[in-house]
Amino acid sequence: MTLRHYELDLCVTDINRTLKLSLVERKAWFSAMVHEKTAKKHASDYHLVMKHLGECCRAPTYVGLHGKHPDKIELILDVSMPDETVHVLVAVVIQLGRNGKYNIASAYCINDDEVSQRVARNSVHKIR
CA distance linking residue 110 with residue 2, whole number of Å: 26
pLDDT surpasses 70 at 86: yes
- Mean pLDDT across the stretch 13-23? 97
Left, alpha or beta for 9 (phi > 0: left; psi -120 to 50: alpha)?
Answer: beta
- 61 and 127 in contact (C-beta within 8 Å)? yes
CA distance linking residue 44 with residue 11, whole number of Å: 27
Residue 47 CB neighbours (<10 A): 10
Buried b (16+ CB within 10 A) or exposed e, 102-123: bbbbbbbbbeeeebeebeeeee
For residue range 31-57, list pLDDT tens digits in order.
999 999 999 999 999 999 999 999 999
Number of H helices, E strands in the chain: 4, 7
For residue range 54-70, list pLDDT tens digits in order.
999 999 999 999 888 88
In this prediction the pTM is 0.94
User: Tell me, what's the pLDDT at 3?
Assistant: 80
User: Tell me, what's the pLDDT at 10?
Assistant: 98
User: Tell me, what's the pLDDT at 2?
Assistant: 66
User: Tell me, what's the pLDDT at 120?
Assistant: 96
- Mean pLDDT across the stretch 76-93? 95
Segment (H or E) for 115: helix 112-120
Domains of the chain: which residue ranges? 6-126
End-to-end CA gap in the chain: 36
